[in-house]
Structure 1
Amino acid sequence: MKGNLMVITPEDHMRWVLSRGLSRLGYSVLPAEGEEEAERQLTQHEVALAVVDVDGPGAEGLPLIRNLQQMKPHLPLLVLTGDSSPQTALAALRMGAVDYLQKPFDLDELRIAVEKALEYERVNREVEFLRLETALRQGDFHLIGSSPAMRSVREIVAQVADSKATVLVQGESGVGKEVVARALHHFSRRRESPFLLFPCASIPETMIETELFGWEKGSEEEGARVGRLELAHEGTICFQDVTHLSLQLQRRLLQVLDEGAFLRVGGTKPVAVDVRVIVSTSQDLWQAVQAGGFREDLYYRLKVIPINLPPLRQRKEDILPLARHFLSRYDPRGRFQGFTADALACLEAHLWPGNVRELANLIERAVILCQCDWISVKELALPSEIILQEKQKPDKVEERPLRLPVENRRRADTKKQMRMEETEKTFNGTSRVRRPERSVRTNQEKGEGQAQSSPRGFLDRAETPVSLGEKRSVKDGSIRPEVFTINGEGFTITIRGQVYLDSLEKSVLEEVMEAVEGDQNEAARFLGLTRSSLVARLQKHHITTATKKRERPNRLPRRE
């Protein structure tokens, strides 16, 4: 069967002809004589299209179209009219009917009209789905974080997304309660239907009831205003700050949850809705119950699936992944390469009283103000005490250098001293190491010593470091950088003197392989490489992985 079609006409002969013809086309037909029987069929079956006779003998006319739309807002309607009533067909189209078919007609004309109406509805739903998907992409439904709390939240969302049970999301302001609600909707089967937010705290108390339930005017011609609860039919509605609802509205909301229907303001006929309800609040709902500001029966009805989001200061592991996520959101073209090491340290040190919302706003501000390739502490504009603590750390010039194990630092210092002694022997004829202050000469000394200039290619090392890109003039006319400071995301490397990339890569690989005790999988994860790429680099530098295991106090952290 192709689907359920409803035929609504008071004529027995017309109802029999339409039912027989549509059945021969492969459809399952639900015949109805009038509005009451049609309402009963709609509550029992899922109907793809309704064929309505609006001007036959005994037909209810246009009021039937209006009532059907109130009962089932998204039901497509195909109207049957006579040759002498084009105004009726046009009025039906203005009221929302998909198409009309003039009587008399044959079976082929009926088939084409039905297929056209179903195809129109299919395309309309597809366009609506794409529109909602675009809106969801512009919004945020990704649950970012590697902390145990966020892993638990993701597991709960995956388990209950397709359920119709109500969800209570609690947490401080700015922790991401709306993101959890959007994730519940996006990963459910209702993702093709609307997702609506109902901010209880921002709507005036005198208007909140009509905004939620809609209202009906006095005369039938004036129609009715649809509320947000009805607009979210077959979708999801999220009540934000639900404690701001009055006790009367709480009672009406409880009725909707229990019966699946409600009355518009001023209405007399119940409106049935199929909607998933999610409630978020930054207050303790049970304390509101004990204080008498919230109904206890509604509290237990809402707390079917509770989700508690801890503040950002209690899940420090999520700060850096969230910062990178917001950087990619506010910098979609990839103008920035990331954060400097000191910037990441300051982000982790901040307490974040505004939680995730404060972090998002801070990253957006930094993206607007930063004019470099890397976002530093300057653009973050964190509280002065955080930056002061970072500046007071020992052994710090501009950015934190990459810290090596103690044993490796001693070995590197020994090699550096040997190289300095060899250089001193070559150019000065002495084995003593040059003092740093002697390498800084005044302009007068430089002018007097032109006749005894250094050999070609020699470059005196200045005591003050030079940032990346800064260059010094050499007496032979060449220009070479003295010190390179390389900023990466989570690291800073300062290079003094000549260095070859192959040598640097080999040193990094040796240090990492020694730290992970030869575990290629762990080394590949830490370096952000595939295992095959790591093996190729190890073979290139003739590095063996058969390292001797020894006890180490710390292991390299896993790259998330």
Structure 2
Amino acid sequence: MSHSLLIVDDEEDLREDLAELLSDLGFDCRTADCGEAALEEIRADEPDLVLCDLSMPGMDGVELVERVVEDNPTVAILMMTAYGSLDTALAAFRNGAVDYLLKPLQQEELLAKIGRALNHRKTNRELRFLRRAVSQAEESTRLVGSSPEMRSVRDLIRRVAAVESPVLITGETGTGKEVVARSIHEAGHADTAPFVAVNCAALPRDLVESELFGYRKGAFSGATSDKPGLLEVARGGTLFLDEIGDLPLDLQPKLLRVLESGELLPIGGTRPIPTRFRLLAATHRDLSELMESGKFRQDLYYRLAVVEIELPPLRAHLSDVPELVDHLMVGIRARLKRQIDVDDSALRRLSEASWPGNVRELENALERAVLLADSGPLTSVDFLNLGEAERGTAQNLELKSRVREFELGHIRRVLATTGGNREEAARALGINPSTLYRRLQNAEGED
């Protein structure tokens, strides 16, 4: 596709000759004889590049450039002048032009500078797109909610951001544990500090060690070059270990050594590498149960849980749903390119649901509704299927309750055979005595 050019000059002969030359070279050219006419042309159809004379009656080139840059910042501008000087060049750059050309124009220089200006425009558009993407990403990491529960979480984040102690973030799946981790990182580090997020549950078992600790060339078959581990990449910033409860047991002491010594040893390495980072960990699992069953080390737990932030499930702060909907819809509209609102009936419906999947489930429900909607706004009718999800959740809870009843009955029968000796019963059941005690205590509490 040819590039579109707008040539602005009060000299008719130069303007038409230039348009003819550039049209012959494949450019789509339009012309204007003054600044006001140029603005009309740009409003009607924005060009890729404006070739603008510096000295014109009425609105001169400097004022035109200022107006174009303000209203159409992605348009590239080349200024033309018969009076070349350093002051001219500086004025051109200061006012937003990419470059300037001296009259009489030389074809080789003209084409070279047009090419550079168009490349500059392309780069500028990409940068603007990236800035928007970064801005949206930053917006998506904001912790939303005015309820006492969320205010308490934000207060804890402010308190822990100023220190380098590890933080353990707990809560159900979908409550926003990574959002909290990013908030702590952003509040406590410079913009350039790395934030490295690792989902321990998502890494294949045979790759966990090499991903976290890295390796040296020749350490194993296929290790053709050195590879830094994520613990090294996080140096000077934050390492976020999501689903820390799924970290393999044999790697837990190795991670603990890194935390205590500030050094790591890559696979196949002979010399430790210094690395210091802020560790944030998260889990939806009960680490105390994992410790009792021998699947998580106590020493690592106590190193991680210097400070613990427990995120409430969404059903515990439903008053935040309208605010969350407003926030989530900003990203959904941008992703799906659909400007759809949510009416009051939908907000009431969404504020009454139990949300077992928490904020993540709310976002999925909104995105699905926007995708399927013929037109806006979304109403309560668009969320009728939430009841089915809740019924499914209720059925799951009933099933879990029956499983607990069966398990408790089995425990009591084994206890009867051991004469009430809990240690013998625990051995027979293959569980920890403390686990047996806790399950009996929970059952008594429910009774």
- TM-score, scaled relative to structure 2: 0.54
- Which residue in the other structure is 1:324 paired with? 326
- CA distance, structure 2, for counterparts of residue 319 and residue 346 of structure 1: 10
Matched, 1:350 2:353: yes
- CA distance, structure 2, for counterparts of residue 296 and residue 275 of structure 1: 21
Find the residue that maps to 1:331 and give its secondary structure.
helix
- CA distance, structure 2, for counterparts of residue 359 and residue 174 of structure 1: 9
Find the residue that maps to 1:157 and give its secondary structure.
helix
Alignment identity in percent? 39
Q: How does 1:28-177 map to 2 (within 5 A)?
A: 135=134, 137-138=136-137, 140-177=140-177
- CA distance, structure 2, for counterparts of residue 133 and residue 270 of structure 1: 41
Find the residue that maps to 1:138 and give its secondary structure.
helix
AA matched with 1:326? L
- CA distance, structure 2, for counterparts of residue 153 and residue 171 of structure 1: 12
- Which residue in the other structure is 2:186 paired with? 186
AA matched with 1:204? P
Change in Cα spacing, 1:197 to 1:385, as seen in structure 2 (3 Å) is: closer
- Which residue in the other structure is 2:273 paired with? 271
Considering Cα pairs closer than 8 Å and 6+ residues apart, tell me whether 1 or 2 has the greater RCO: 2
Contact kept in structure 2, 1:173 and 1:282, CA below 8 Å: yes
- CA distance, structure 2, for counterparts of residue 196 and residue 184 of structure 1: 13
- Which residue in the other structure is 2:291 paired with? 289
- Which residue in the other structure is 1:242 paired with? 244
Spell out, residue by residue over 1:276-315, the C-alpha distance to the aligned partner (whole angstroms, 9 max, x if none). Answer: 1110000111221122111111111100110000111111
Change in Cα spacing, 1:343 to 1:275, as seen in structure 2 (3 Å) is: same
- CA distance, structure 2, for counterparts of residue 182 and residue 284 of structure 1: 23
Contact kept in structure 2, 1:162 and 1:189, CA below 8 Å: no
Change in Cα spacing, 1:308 to 1:330, as seen in structure 2 (3 Å) is: same
- Which residue in the other structure is 1:61 paired with? none
Contact kept in structure 1, 2:168 and 2:280, CA below 8 Å: yes
Change in Cα spacing, 1:230 to 1:385, as seen in structure 2 (3 Å) is: closer
Spell out, residue by residue over 1:137-159, the C-alpha distance to the aligned partner (whole angstroms, 9 max, x if none). Answer: 42632110111111011111112
- CA distance, structure 2, for counterparts of residue 133 and residue 298 of structure 1: 40
- CA distance, structure 2, for counterparts of residue 348 and residue 362 of structure 1: 13
Change in Cα spacing, 1:261 to 1:336, as seen in structure 2 (3 Å) is: same
Change in Cα spacing, 1:290 to 1:384, as seen in structure 2 (3 Å) is: closer
Spell out, residue by residue over 1:316-364, the C-alpha distance to the aligned partner (whole angstroms, 9 max, x if none). Answer: 1111111111111111499646322221111111110111000011111
In the TM superposition, residue 136 of structure 1 has moved relative to its aligned partner by 7.0
Find the residue that maps to 2:279 and give its secondary structure.
strand
Q: How does 1:488-503 map to 2 (within 5 A)?
A: none
1:261 aligns with one of 260, 263, 267: 263
Gaps (5+ residues) in structure 1?
A: 1-127, 389-560
Change in Cα spacing, 1:331 to 1:131, as seen in structure 2 (3 Å) is: closer
Change in Cα spacing, 1:385 to 1:225, as seen in structure 2 (3 Å) is: closer
- Which residue in the other structure is 2:78 paired with? none
In the TM superposition, residue 371 of structure 1 has moved relative to its aligned partner by 2.7
Find the residue that maps to 2:375 and give its secondary structure.
coil
AA matched with 1:234? G
AA matched with 1:365? R
Q: How does 1:384-463 map to 2 (within 5 A)?
A: 384=387
Change in Cα spacing, 1:387 to 1:353, as seen in structure 2 (3 Å) is: closer
Contact kept in structure 1, 2:340 and 2:375, CA below 8 Å: no
- Which residue in the other structure is 2:306 paired with? 304
- Which residue in the other structure is 2:342 paired with? 339
In the TM superposition, residue 218 of structure 1 has moved relative to its aligned partner by 3.6
In the TM superposition, residue 229 of structure 1 has moved relative to its aligned partner by 1.0
- Which residue in the other structure is 1:204 paired with? 204
- CA distance, structure 1, for counterparts of residue 248 and residue 388 of structure 2: 43
Change in Cα spacing, 1:295 to 1:384, as seen in structure 2 (3 Å) is: closer
- Which residue in the other structure is 1:446 paired with? none
Contact kept in structure 1, 2:181 and 2:240, CA below 8 Å: yes
AA matched with 2:305? K
AA matched with 2:310? N
- CA distance, structure 2, for counterparts of residue 171 and residue 374 of structure 1: 33
Contact kept in structure 2, 1:215 and 1:225, CA below 8 Å: yes
Contact kept in structure 1, 2:338 and 2:370, CA below 8 Å: no
1:378 aligns with one of 366, 375, 381: 381
Contact kept in structure 2, 1:336 and 1:375, CA below 8 Å: no
CA RMSD of aligned residues (A): 2.9
AA matched with 1:185? H
- CA distance, structure 1, for counterparts of residue 132 and residue 190 of structure 2: 12
Change in Cα spacing, 1:268 to 1:290, as seen in structure 2 (3 Å) is: same
Contact kept in structure 1, 2:214 and 2:228, CA below 8 Å: yes
Find the residue that maps to 1:278 and give its secondary structure.
strand
Larger Rg: 1
Matched, 1:229 2:231: yes
Change in Cα spacing, 1:200 to 1:180, as seen in structure 2 (3 Å) is: same
In the TM superposition, residue 269 of structure 1 has moved relative to its aligned partner by 0.4
Contact kept in structure 1, 2:200 and 2:246, CA below 8 Å: yes
- CA distance, structure 2, for counterparts of residue 384 and residue 315 of structure 1: 19
- CA distance, structure 2, for counterparts of residue 245 and residue 136 of structure 1: 33
AA matched with 1:241? E
- CA distance, structure 2, for counterparts of residue 365 and residue 149 of structure 1: 28
Change in Cα spacing, 1:175 to 1:141, as seen in structure 2 (3 Å) is: same
In the TM superposition, residue 162 of structure 1 has moved relative to its aligned partner by 3.1
Spell out, residue by residue over 1:70-100, the C-alpha distance to the aligned partner (whole angstroms, 9 max, x if none). Answer: xxxxxxxxxxxxxxxxxxxxxxxxxxxxxxx
- Which residue in the other structure is 1:452 paired with? none
Find the residue that maps to 1:374 and give its secondary structure.
coil
Contact kept in structure 1, 2:333 and 2:340, CA below 8 Å: no
Change in Cα spacing, 1:359 to 1:375, as seen in structure 2 (3 Å) is: same
- Which residue in the other structure is 1:544 paired with? none
- CA distance, structure 2, for counterparts of residue 137 and residue 223 of structure 1: 36
- TM-score, scaled relative to structure 1: 0.43
Matched, 1:365 2:368: yes
Equivalent residue pairs, number: 260
Find the residue that maps to 1:265 and give its secondary structure.
coil
- CA distance, structure 1, for counterparts of residue 390 and residue 185 of structure 2: 40
Contact kept in structure 2, 1:190 and 1:236, CA below 8 Å: no
- CA distance, structure 1, for counterparts of residue 229 and residue 330 of structure 2: 37
- CA distance, structure 1, for counterparts of residue 130 and residue 150 of structure 2: 29
- CA distance, structure 2, for counterparts of residue 270 and residue 191 of structure 1: 28
